[in-house]
Amino acid sequence: MTLELFSLPPISPLHFEQQARRRGYPLVAGVDEAGRGPLAGPVVAAAVVLPESFDLPGLNDSKQLTAGQRQRLFPLIRRQALAIGLGVATAAEIDQLNILQATLRAMLLAVRRLRLAPDFLLVDGNQPVPLPLPQQTLIKGDGRSLSIAAASIVAKVVRDRMMAGYDRHFPGYGFAGHKGYGCAAHRQAIALLGPSPQHRTTFSGVREYLR
């Protein structure tokens, strides 16, 4: 006798938003960050409140999209979102606080800078934002919640543009290309030029070259 396995229907990418609204929280903000892993540059967090109805075809986790797709969605999210907030923690703040605490601080700032105060937060990862707000953390939330996906795109696009600006101020490191991540060319540039003011001096791959 064979057993037939039945798979559960996929959860809607708006399941968590709808669940929060049914519980009495009409304004749900998705929160995500970009830039935890690089050797240089800030960590940027975004909080996005989407309306119940929107038209954002292709909205997905920013890591699953090309740079061109993110650039196309970015102005659409800005136009259709009810509110967007941004928070930035600099390389110096990351060195001072550590990357986890700096990320949480950037997320806190992003939520506080929303034009509309949210009732509920959906947060990517497993660490809640240090605010007295109802919230739910979601591992790999940028692939499970469209609000978090929108926040991931906003954070990624803003950070990429910041890194392109740093590339002009600190030439030779290739920030515009690798965005501060520790690729071989970036590591070679650090070894040759030494760390720039945008490098995270507490990170392995940078601290070895401090003079």
Delineate the domains of the chain, giving CATH numbers in brackets.
15-169 (3.30.420.10)
Burial of 163 (0-12, 13-18, 19+ CB in 10 A): buried
Nearby residues of 64 by Cβ (< 8 Å), 6 or more positions away: 143
Rounded Cα distance between 25 and 74, Å, is 26
Angle of CA points 170, 172, 178, to nearest 5°: 90
State pLDDT tens for residues 89-105: 999 999 999 999 999 99
- Residues 27-54: pLDDT tens digits? 999 999 999 999 999 999 999 999 999 9
